[in-house]
C-alpha cells in the first residue's frame, strides 16, 4: 500500500464510530469515502469539510447501490485499500415483541450491509493484489447482548462468522479480513437503547465506557501495515467488561 495515497471506504461513515474512523485515516493521509444516508451524511460533510473525504448517499441494504458506490470510488482512485463496515442499527425489543419487519431490518443493515460491502470490494482487491476489510462486530455476539435484543445479537454473530469465512477464502489473494468487537460505546445508538454516560463503568476494569475514538484507532491498526500478519481475528475493545 506504499507509494500512493491510501483509499478507505467506510459504510456508516457519518455515525459516531464511522466518523471517528474517517478522521483517524484522514489524519494519516488517506482519502476517505464516507457512505451513509441523509441527513447524517450532510452533517458529516459539513463537520468534515477540512479533511480529504468524499461523500456518497448509499443504503447499505441495497447491494446494487453499494456496488455502484464502490465502482464510483474505483473510477476516481483506481483502487480501494481498506473497506470498513460500520453501518449498524440496534433495538432492545423483547423476543416476543419483535416483528418480522423489525427482525429483517436489523439483520439487513448489520449483517447484510457488511456482506454487501465485502462482496463489492473483494473482486477489486483481488485484482489489485490485496486489501483490508474490517467489519464491526460486537461484544453482544460474544456474551449474548448488553441492552440489545436477540435479532441484533444474531446479526452481529453473523458478522463474526462472515469475517472468518472471508479471511480463509480471501487470504490467498492477500486480502486480510478482521473484526472489531466493541463493548458499549457512548454513541447515539447506545443512548437509543436507554444507556447513559458511563453507566455501570465501575464494573469495567478500566473504569469507563468506550468512546468512538477507541474503536477508530483499532480499526486504523487493522487497516494498516502494522497488522500485516493478522487475518480472521477479532479485536476486543471493551474496557475489560468481557474477557476470553
Cell numbers that stand for 118 in this block = 465485502
Distance separating alpha carbons of residues 61 and 53, to the nearest angstrom: 22
Q: How far apart are CA 150 and CA 107, in angstroms?
A: 11
Q: Give the dihedral of Cα atoms 204, 140, 135, 223; nearest 10 deg.
A: 10
Q: Is 152 a catalytic residue?
A: yes
Kindly calculate the radius of gyration of the chain based on its CA atoms and give it in whole angstroms: 17
Count of residues in the chain: 244
Give whole-number Cα distances, 152 to 90, 104, 115, 120, 192, in Å. 6, 10, 15, 23, 14
- Residue 158 has a CB neighbour count (10 Å cut-off) of 18
Does the bond joining 137 to the residue before it have cis omega, within 30 degrees of 0? no
From 152, 173, 204, 242, active-site residue: 152
Question: Which residues are known catalytic residues?
Answer: 152
Amino acid at each position: 500500500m506504499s507509494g500512493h495515497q491510501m483509499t478507505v471506504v467506510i459504510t456508516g461513515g457519518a455515525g459516531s464510530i464511522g466518523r471517528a474512523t474517517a478522521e483517524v485515516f484522514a489524519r494519516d493521509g488517506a482519502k476517505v469515502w464516507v457512505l451513509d444516508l441523509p441527513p447524517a451524511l450532510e452533517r458529516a460533510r459539513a463537520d468534515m469539510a477540512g479533511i480529504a473525504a468524499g461523500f456518497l448517499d448509499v443504503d447499505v441494504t441495497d447491494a446494487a447501490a453499494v456496488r455502484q458506490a464502490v465502482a464510483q470510488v474505483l473510477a476516481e482512485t483506481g483502487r480501494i485499500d481498506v473497506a470498513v463496515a460500520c453501518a449498524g442499527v440496534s433495538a432492545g425489543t423483547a423476543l416476543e415483541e419483535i416483528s418480522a419487519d423489525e427482525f429483517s431490518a436489523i439483520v439487513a443493515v448489520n449483517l447484510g450491509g457488511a456482506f454487501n460491502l465485502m462482496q463489492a470490494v473483494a473482486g477489486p482487491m483481488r485484482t489489485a493484489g490485496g486489501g483490508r476489510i474490517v467489519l464491526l462486530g460486537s461484544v453482544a455476539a460474544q456474551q449474548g447482548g448488553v441492552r440489545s435484543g436477540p435479532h441484533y445479537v444474531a446479526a452481529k454473530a453473523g458478522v463474526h462468522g462472515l469475517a472468518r469465512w472471508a479471511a480463509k477464502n480471501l487470504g490467498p489473494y492477500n486480502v486480510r479480513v478482521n473484526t472489531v468487537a466493541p463493548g458499549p460505546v457512548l454513541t447515539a445508538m447506545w443512548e437509543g437503547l436507554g444507556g447513559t454516560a458511563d453507566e455501570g463503568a465501575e464494573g469495567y476494569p478500566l473504569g469507563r465506557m468506550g468512546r468512538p475514538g477507541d474503536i477508530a484507532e483499532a480499526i486504523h491498526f487493522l487497516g494498516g501495515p502494522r497488522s500485516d500478519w493478522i487475518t480472521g481475528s477479532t479485536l476486543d475493545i471493551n474496557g475489560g467488561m468481557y474477557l476470553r
